[in-house]
Structure 1
Amino acid sequence: MKTIFLIGFMGSGKTTVGKLLSKKMKIPVCDTDQEIVREKGTSITNIFETIGEEGFRLLETKKLKEMPLRDYIVTTGGGVILRQENREWMIENGTVVFLDTEPDEILNRLKADTTRPLLQGDMEERIQKLWTLRQHLYLETGHIRIHTTGKLLEAIVEEIKERLEIH
């Protein structure tokens, strides 16, 4: 089976869904952000402060392309779709699952999270702006779209498994 790439806005549940999907499907999972943090020995926030968003996006592309292409789940950062190179690479080399979450739900999930460099300031306004800018990129990249708003984790994972069998 081709690698499964989970994409979606920050707070859409990619990492959490990826872990449970990995357990249910009995295949490994890897989170690109966590791998970058491990490799660099510092937080995403510090990486953004040191080399900026563009520098981080280059690291993200490099890490994405290091991932196995068979029998694997890769959870990505919310901005992985900003680079056309990444979108094309995931589409060509795996099955891309878009976890589509409404902005209000994202705000509820992230309102206490102070570790996200792109959400500094008015979080609600930043989420709405970024969501609007990115939504079409998620839609054009995902082979499979899963609506997650208001759904339990187990239901999301079961829907992904069912849709993967059809895909």
Structure 2
Amino acid sequence: MKKVYLIGFMGCGKSAIGKRLSFATKMPYYDMDHEIEKKMGMTISEIFSTYGEEAFREMETEFLRTFRNEYCIIATGGGVPMRKENREIMRRTGLVFFLNAPFRDVWRRIATLKKRPIVQASTRAQLEKLFYVRKPLYMYSAHFKVETEKRSIHDITDYIAFQINRFKGGN
């Protein structure tokens, strides 16, 4: 198990924690959305509007199938665990950490984001419904559920780094 996957709803802290984890563990950090944008030469919004959501979801799966085989930390997109194949790939190739943030915290972070196609196209009620639809699949995908409420990024990073080092110990 070389990879560390951070999963959870948009705005749960995957990118912020991923960057700090990279520093703490000396493992490279990759943001899946950023890697797909780089490969396609387009923003996620442009990919959605040009190719549609289903094509974007296939790009996420292709990323998981083909991304380099190295010790690294990957912040996934919020929809990645919705596909069974993605869940299987992540669980087989790495440790999966679900960053469980309450919806009110997530909403506070994403409400004004303009570059997220799903946020642009949805009401708060629609996003909250999506949040609760996805949550059981995040739980099912994860090796670890990490509660983020009332915990600092530092504490969350320390906990995940500890778990990584426990599993990496013999490698």
TM-score by length of structure 2 reads 0.91
Unaligned runs of 5+ in 2: none
Matched, 1:94 2:75: no
Cα deviation, residue 3, structure 1: 1.0
Name the structure 1 match of 2:77: 77
Q: Deviations over 1:72-107 (max 9, x none)?
A: 111100000111100011011111011111100000
Percent identity of paired positions between Structure 1 and Structure 2: 37
Could you tell me which residue of structure 1 aligns to residue 44 of structure 2?
A: 44
The residue identity in structure 2 corresponding to 1:60 is E
CA distance in 2, matches of 1:66, 1:152: 33
Q: Which residue of 1 aligns with 2:160?
A: 160
**1:1-167 to 2 correspondences below 5 Å:** 2-166=2-166
Tell me the SS of whatever aligns to 1:97: strand
How far the C-alpha of 1:40 sits from its partner, in A, is: 1.1
User: In structure 1, what residue type is equivalent to 2:156?
Assistant: I
Residue identity opposite 1:118 in structure 2: I
Query: Deviation at 1:121?
Result: 4.8
Partner SS state of residue 27, structure 1: coil
How far is 1:61 from its partner?
Answer: 0.8
Aligned AA (2:81): I
Shift of residue 118, structure 1, vs aligned partner: 1.1
**Partner letter of residue 14 of structure 1?**
K
Residue 10 of structure 1 deviates from its aligned partner by 0.5
CA displacement at 1:159 relative to structure 2: 1.3
Contact 2:6 2:74 in 1 (8 A): yes
Q: Which runs of 4+ in 1 moved over 6 A?
A: none
Partners of 2:111 and 2:119 within 8 A in 1 = no
Aligned counterparts of 1:66 and 1:38: Cα–Cα separation in 2: 15
What amino acid is the match of 1:126? Q
**1:37-60 per-position Cα deviation (integer Å, ceiling 9, x unaligned):** 111111111111111110000011
- Distance in 2 between residues matched to 1:86 and 1:141, nearest whole Å: 9
The one-letter code sitting in structure 2 at the alignment partner of 1:46 is E
